[in-house]
Amino acid sequence: MPPHPVPLGFVFRSRAKEEKAPADKARVTDSKQTRDPQAPKGRPTPKRSEAQTQRRSVAQTPTTRKEAAKRQRDERRVQMEKQRQALANGDERFLPARDKGPVRKFARDFVDSRFCVAEFFLPMAVVILVLSMVRVGSLQNIALLLWLVVIVMIVVDSIGIAIRLKKQLAARFPDVPKKGAVAYALMRTLQMRRLRLPKPQVKRGERP
């Protein structure tokens, strides 16, 4: 006979109860921990601000193609309105790409601060056209001569503006790309001052 006999109840007791016990304990332990129903399983509960941001982004996501197209039109309309206001007040943040940058701004101010022969081309062209339509030989000759004079004056003035502007840009912006700035300024001289966009930000005679 063994000195410490094994009780029969230990040998024949149900193993199912032993297997259920750890599971019951685990359920009791897990039930005490509260978890956000919106939090993914196995991840920490998100903060309230993060959850609100996620809900807001989901709510703002377009669900149909029509909704997405409408949202794009609205965003484009808002962008165009900002660009229109920028062309009027010179706000660099919303200007078109061709008008952005300190080099382009200086080129605009350089042109707007002086009288340019090219800006009077349209009114002079109207006068010359009217004279050329009058069936008087002397007036038609005068109109032809005026055409030549105006063209020569525009060319000479544009060359002078280009030379002076190149020097100013080289002195003020030595390490900044200046490609196209002179042509940009000369195209601006062909527009009447009141019709220029972006609107002039300096007065005539004021140094840029």
Check residue 101 and give its pLDDT. Answer: 94
Residue 69 is predicted with a pLDDT of: 85
- pLDDT, residue 12, reads 46
| Alpha helices in 61-180, H assignment, sequence order | 65-89, 102-112, 121-133, 137-172
Q: Which tokens in the block code for residue 95?
A: 């200007």
Q: Looking at per-residue confidence, does 79 or 193 come out higher? A: 193
Residue 27 has pLDDT above 70, yes or no: no
Q: How many CA atoms lie within 13 A of 51 on its CB side?
A: 10
- Poorest-confidence range of 45-49, 116-120, 176-180, 184-188? 45-49
Chain segment 106-117, per-residue pLDDT in tens: 999 999 999 999
* Centroid of chain to Cα 69: 20
pLDDT in tens, 149-162: 999 999 999 999 99
Q: 9 or 107, which is more confident?
A: 107
At residue 65, the pLDDT reads 84
Burial class (CB in 10 A: 0-12, 13-18, 19+), 107: buried
Cis before 198? omega within 30: yes
Whether the full predicted model's pTM is greater than 0.95, yes or no, is: no
Mean of pLDDT values over 9-13 = 47
| 172 pLDDT tier (thresholds 50, 70, 90) | very high
pLDDT (0 to 100) of residue 45: 62
CB atoms within 10 A of CB 190: 14
pLDDT score at 192: 93
| pLDDT value for 29 | 45
